[in-house]
Chain A
Amino acid sequence: MNVRIGTTVLLALFWLVTAAGQAVGLEGDVVYTFGEVLVHRNPEVVIAEIGMPVGEGDVIETTGDAMVVISLVNGAEIKLRENTTLALDSLGRDVSVRLISGSVFSRVNRHMVNGFSVKTETAVMGVRGTEFFVAYGRKIDRHRDVWVCVNTGSVEVGLLDTQDTLIVEQGKGINILGGTNLTSPQRYPWTRKLNWNMDPASGEVEDRTDLEQAYSDLLDQDYD
């Protein structure tokens, strides 16, 4: 009898710990900021500080020349570049963030996260364990271009409209033309200068890559 009660208590405790852990898992922490970073948490807007928790439903905004690194307790880290707005849609075992504007680096620990996805207005990038970068490009067609570059692992890119998908392997990138046409993955020279570091203790965190380099500069084409 005592053994049965003890077992029940232990199970109850285990459930409580697990539930508490999951509850904690719905949050992340700001681990580094530079410049003005805002957290939109309806109806409030607060300035992000190091150590500040962020959670589901928060929208993170970096202004010009600002950036922020957020650690999601389930083994994922994200780094927002300047002029970026990102919504934390889901922070459970499946993490889903939505890039509204700008660009974001993501690092995902495959052992701790079931699924991780970055959504844009037209596409979704899903991974199990990798390091990749998603950025809005120029608006030439109806929707903006979306650049996806993979540093490690691989990323499955899917179009929301047509359901077309493709895998982008390590070291390669694609441009989703107008957000609706998948191009062939290739090595883009401009991506070599991306700063993937998210740990201030390991060096410079800010990424100053000029994303305009992703496009051919027609004024720089001089061959005679």
Chain B
Amino acid sequence: MNIRALPIAAIMIVFAAVLAPAEHIPVASGGFFEFESRTSLLLDLGRLDPLVELEGRFEDTNLEFRYRSLTAGAYVRLLKNLKAGAFYRIQQGARHDDDWIEPSLDVWEWVDSRSRTEQLLILDISPRFLLDFMPGRNWVFAVKNRYQYNAFNGQHSLLVRPGLTYYLLRSREPVLNLSLSYGLYIPLNFGETLLYQHEPYLSLLYHLNRNVKLELTGALKTVIWSTSDDSWANGDTYAVPNRSLVVGFGVLFPLSL
């Protein structure tokens, strides 16, 4: 499919989605709000920064605790302006396109994936640039590029998240980071849309001290559900956007040895 055909295909998919029977299209399974939390331990070993992170998310009806993950790996600073990272993640409760199923005739629902364990490989490369010509001089522009392979379903995806961070300094030390970025999630071997998720992302990081940081985040997340296997079998095609506001809280422990 060439680039020019993409908008036409997208319009056709949306058109098809509108025409499809309503009960066959994935529905939002909860409220507009989601809450997530994470706790990270980061070691500063010079150029190498190992990381262990626990993450959980409350979503769906009654804000169930559904998604949870453990990530371990390390960042390495290749150049002054370039960091790379490699991580292993084990997760439960993730939702994919094919989790929209028809367990019995004309009954459609999301798979309860809370007990389904998935393993992922994550590779990250993020260039960063100090914008010292900006007012206050403490601005950094970064682009987080993250490749993700999910061994459970063989999906490859790419996150591209350009962002701008302002550092409020006191006595030459950061006190507060304010970041605004936009995450673009690109499916590499699945889905029918160019993006399967996108979100403006706002983050506030308060440096309580050198070893404890508190984080508050907000993301207006749009997930675009593409046709599941069961829907294909049923003769349906769709690309349905689902929007939610994800509020996150994090406690980070960077340690210097």
Contact = CB atoms under 8 A, between A and B. Distances in A.
Interface of A: 140, 145, 175, 177, 183, 189, 215-216, 218-224
Contact of B174 (A218, A219, A222, A224): A218
B256 interface: yes
A177 B172 contact: yes
B140 interface: yes
Given A175-B172, A216-B169, A218-B174, A223 B140 contact: no
B156 interface: no
A140 B254 CA distance: 27
Contacts of B173: 216
B138 A218 contact: yes
Interface of B: 40, 42, 49, 75, 77, 80-81, 83, 126, 128-130, 138, 140, 144, 165, 167, 169, 171-174, 177, 205, 210, 213, 215, 252, 254, 256
Nearest to B40: A223
Contact of B75 (A175, A177, A215, A222): A222
Contacts of B172: 140, 145, 175, 177, 215-216
B16 to A, nearest CB: 37
A7 B2 CA distance: 112
Contacts of B171: 175, 177, 183
Contacts of A183: 171
A223 B215 contact: yes
Contacts of A224: 40, 144
Contacts of A189: 210, 256
B77 A220 contact: yes
A221 B142 CA distance: 11
A216 B140 CA distance: 13
A216 B177 CA distance: 13
Contacts of A215: 172
A127 B75 CA distance: 44
Contacts of B80: 219
Contacts of A221: 140, 165, 167, 174, 177
B208 to A, nearest CB: 13
Q: Which interface residue of A145, A183, A223 has the most chain B CB atoms within 10 A?
A: A223
A109 B251 CA distance: 47
A218 B40 contact: no
B56 to A, nearest CB: 15
B49 A218 contact: no
Nearest to B210: A189
Contacts of B213: 223
